[in-house]
Amino acid sequence: MKNVYQLSPDEVLAQEKSQLSGLTTAEADQRLATNGPNELAQGKKKSMFMRFVDQFKDFMIIVLLVAALIAGVVVHEWADAGIILAVVILNAVFGVFQESKAEEAIDALKEMSTPNARVRRGNEVLTVPSNQLVVGDIILLEAGDVVPADLRLIESANLKIEESALTGESVPVDKTTAPIDQDQVGIGDRTNMAFMNSNITYGRGVGVVVATGMQTEVGRIAGMINAADETTTPLQDNLSQLGKSLTIMILVIAVVVFAVGMWRGAMSLPEMFLTAISLAVAAIPEGLPAIVTIILALGTQKMVKRNALVRKLPAVETLGSTDIIASDKTGTLTQNKMTVEKVYYDGQLQDASADITGDNPILRIMNFSNDTQEQADGKLLGDPTETALITFGQTKGYDLKTELDEMPRVAEVPFDSERKLMSTIHQMPDGRYFVATKGAPDELLKRVTQIAMPDGVRDFTEDDDAAILATNKRLATQALRVLGMAYKFVDTVPEPVDSTTVEHDLIFAGLVGMIDPERPEAAAAVAEAKSAGIRPMMITGDHRDTAEAIAGRLGIIEPGDDAAVITGAELDEQSDEEFSKNVDKYSVYARVAPEHKVRIVNAWQKRGKVVAMTGDGVNDAPALKAADIGIGMGITGTEVSKGASDMVLADDNFKTIVVAVEEGRKVFSNIQKAIQYLLSANLGEVLTLFMMTMLGWDILAPVHILWINLVTDTFPAIALGVEPTEPGIMKQKPRGRASNFFSGGVGSAIIYQGLLEGLLTLGVYFIAITWPVHSGYSAIHADALTMAYATLGLIQLFHAFNVKSVHQSLFKVGAFRNKAFNWAILASFILLAATILVPGFNGLFHVTSLDLYQWAIVIGAGLLMIVIVEVVKFFQRRRA
């Protein structure tokens, strides 16, 4: 069976059982009852309660809930249990608040639909709500309308439709009614179709409805959005993996302590069980989820200041692990406005910046043969190509209003998509008439007999024709849209005014080359992305030549690298398996449909790559949702694309994506630092308690561990989340999906640094109970326990300085660059010291006052922590 765009208007009417006079009201009602309204199906919505419950499905959160239960019910540390529960609930509230609702994209699609449509029914023109349209309805279209359903055009009078939301192509499409003699044609090339939610920019037309609701192209996109699986971010994967690893470690610790303690007979079974549980609870970094959430939230605030609005917290970090940036061309890499770039006249090709006099015929033609309207606020309204010509004239000081007052338009031959020309006739002060003609160069040259040169007008020769066509080809290969300009003088307005009587014996004036130019900063941003190991790709609905030329100019591909470019039609010829094998060959995708974009994203994801996808149109929404991070456009983007995205660019700028990647890398690095700090500190606590238990020493009380966790874990860990970006972070390769928080030497650092903390704490305790500290007597046992408590807390504060960089020296990254960190360390030290120094706290925390000599030993152990780690880092750098 043929596609509707392959059929003639009569065949389409017959297939849909309709006629030019329209359906009868009874037939329309019957079809509406059978097929349903012209609406998009709504995806299943989640209640606020269910979204809140979903926050507790994370493995790390489950571990914390179990820990809270054990801490309260078994160990009777209700304060500890309360803190853990508060952290978990706070994390869930943050998640629900930040997370966007999936149904927003479908709601936005519904809002885009036009509320009413002009329909011919029973040979009468009626205004009908668009949701009441049925297949076979005859729809009347004119400039300013929004297409209410998918239509096969059966009449077209200079009809132009802007379809960028569906195709990504910035220039409105000229529509015809002729059948298309091809089997598989992309949306952008179906010139006899009008698609739901596209905009009529010029002319008039009549179409028959061939699809409504979910059967339309927009409906297919809505279905793809509803069917898309929610992807987990690398951060979520890493936190889940971390939770599982911690659970295994905690269970092993608890079992080993319990077994060894029972074997030694140091305690009774209930006491030993409580000791093992206490150790397990101490090993859990209960503040980690909240700290990660806070770091991500702070990252979102930083990104807002840099024009990146994050809608989902994990998206902040996902950017930092991005391997592929699949970017839309129009508006993101380019400026989304047609601009004159080259002008050919007097036999010379000039840059648009070159001087041109106001009496040059090419300048007059491009302004006269033009339907652009200037509004009261100076804004130009009209076809992007024509507004570009007016804008060019304005930059050259051309006073169009004054010129038209002197030479008003008296007649015109409108643009026609078949002859590809437009002409206007203007009355001159001397009584003659000036004819201004613009259009496709090849069609224009057929009607030219003379050419304007610096020394005057002369006859047009074959050499002139060859030179002009060569220039036209040269401009076209640079992806410029080329228009030819010609004119002539006549004594009277011909009768009738049509192409035959007007468009002949013209004088060639020149060529104008236009393009949607790349953003000035885009090429540098592409180069920076490449240096960061990220592969930028262009995905667009534009033609192959245009996409290839822009990609070459931006540095996405080498100029002329045709093998790196593929069209949607060529992609259709490859199976998913073939495409997965070949996907790394392509960096530019032209004339693509929505399903192609999803295939591209999926193919890279199957290779384990983290994919960021940008887009602004309805057609981008499924791929935005399928990508690891969907990036919508804030200025030109539809509400549909914004609703499907994780992040929105306030300035629609590719450069902002690269800036956000840098911020994302910093966020991950800082989360990694916080995790390294928390886990090494907790490992130090566990080792201290474990060894004290095994050696028969008095163990630190639960209140000691709880206070150390509260004051030395939380504040420094949060402060590490706002550490400045480390030098060279954008010279590193993407960490990718396979890496985790323990990659890059962090895992081994946690182990040796945790062991070091525990050993130093045990060493201080051992010194306190065995060596004379002053005046020839040993410290009392309470002093030794106090010194161990002070050392364990203080050594973690000193260790926070080590964690500012995994491998770089503290003195290179700057010990005191981060003011928030400095205040956090000071506050934590005051809160820790207060339990020892402030009267009344001693009894509450079961500690004694220390003298200066004892404090010197404690502080010396803390400084030794920095010295030893610096030495280890030095040898690690030497080995690397």
* E strands, 568-673, in order: 588-590, 611-615, 629-633, 647-649
**Does residue 98 lie in a domain region?**
no
**CATH number of domain containing 146:** 2.70.150.10
Clarify whether residues 172 and 129 are in a common domain.
Answer: yes
Known catalytic membership, residue 328: yes
pLDDT, residue 100, reads 41
pLDDT, residue 871, reads 94
pLDDT, residue 467, reads 94
CA atoms of 587 and 563, how far apart (whole Å): 9
Please provide residue 866's backbone torsions phi and psi, each rounded to the nearest 5 degrees: -65, -45
pLDDT digits (tens, 9 = 90+) for 260-288: 777 766 566 666 666 666 666 666 676 67
Q: Is residue 190 helix, strand or coil?
A: coil
Clarify whether residues 723 and 808 are in a common domain.
Answer: yes
Q: In the chain, pLDDT over 90 holds for what percent of residues?
A: 35
Please provide residue 508's backbone torsions phi and psi, each rounded to the nearest 5 degrees: -70, 130
Final residue belonging to a domain, choices 181, 199, 227: 227
Q: Is pLDDT of 43 > 60?
A: no
Clarify whether residues 673 and 612 are in a common domain.
Answer: no
Clarify whether residues 331 and 446 are in a common domain.
Answer: no
**Does residue 817 lie in a domain region?**
yes
User: Is the bond preceding 496 in cis, omega lying within 30 degrees of 0?
Assistant: yes
pLDDT, residue 559, reads 82
Look up the domain containing 127 and give its range. 4-42+107-227
Report the number of distinct structural domains present in the chain. 4
Clarify whether residues 477 and 564 are in a common domain.
Answer: no
DSSP H or E stretch at residue 316: helix 314-320
Among the listed ranges 97-101, 349-353, 369-373, 574-578, which one has the minimum average pLDDT value? 97-101
Q: Is residue 591 helix, strand or coil?
A: coil
**Does residue 530 lie in a domain region?**
yes
CA atoms of 600 and 627, how far apart (whole Å): 10
Ranges of H-type helices in 489-543: 499-502, 522-531
Clarify whether residues 582 and 673 are in a common domain.
Answer: no
Residue with the larger pLDDT of the pair 399 and 162: 399
Clarify whether residues 137 and 178 are in a common domain.
Answer: yes
pLDDT, residue 98, reads 43
Q: In the chain, pLDDT over 70 holds for what percent of residues?
A: 83
pTM: 0.67
Q: Is pLDDT of 687 > 70?
A: yes
pLDDT, residue 227, reads 60
Residue with the larger pLDDT of the pair 840 and 701: 840
pLDDT digits (tens, 9 = 90+) for 753-806: 999 999 999 999 988 888 755 444 444 567 888 899 999 999 999 999 999 988
Clarify whether residues 295 and 367 are in a common domain.
Answer: no
Clarify whether residues 744 and 621 are in a common domain.
Answer: no
Final residue belonging to a domain, choices 180, 199, 227: 227
Clarify whether residues 624 and 736 are in a common domain.
Answer: no
pLDDT, residue 779, reads 47
**CATH number of domain containing 590:** 3.40.50.1000
CA atoms of 539 and 534, how far apart (whole Å): 16
**Does residue 372 lie in a domain region?**
yes
Q: Is pLDDT of 123 > 90?
A: no
> If pLDDT is split at 50, 70 and 90, which confidence band does 293 have?
confident
Clarify whether residues 604 and 498 are in a common domain.
Answer: no
pLDDT digits (tens, 9 = 90+) for 816-864: 888 889 999 999 999 888 888 888 777 777 788 888 888 999 999 999 9
**Does residue 242 lie in a domain region?**
no
* E strands, 491-591, in order: 506-515, 535-539, 565-567, 588-590
Residue with the larger pLDDT of the pair 643 and 162: 162
pLDDT digits (tens, 9 = 90+) for 327-343: 888 778 888 788 999 99
- Cβ–Cβ < 8 Å for 383, 372: yes
Q: Is pLDDT of 113 > 50?
A: no
Q: Is pLDDT of 253 > 90?
A: no
Q: Is pLDDT of 404 > 90?
A: yes
The catalytically annotated residue of 323, 328, 646, 783 is 328
Q: What is the mean pLDDT of residues 351-378?
A: 89
Cα–Cα distances in angstroms (integers) from residue 151 to residues 35, 138, 193, 298, 579, in the given order: 17, 9, 6, 48, 33
State the pairing for strand pair 611-615/324-328. Answer: parallel
pLDDT, residue 728, reads 82
Residue with the larger pLDDT of the pair 533 and 144: 533
Clarify whether residues 541 and 474 are in a common domain.
Answer: no
pLDDT digits (tens, 9 = 90+) for 644-681: 788 888 888 888 888 888 888 888 888 888 888 988 88
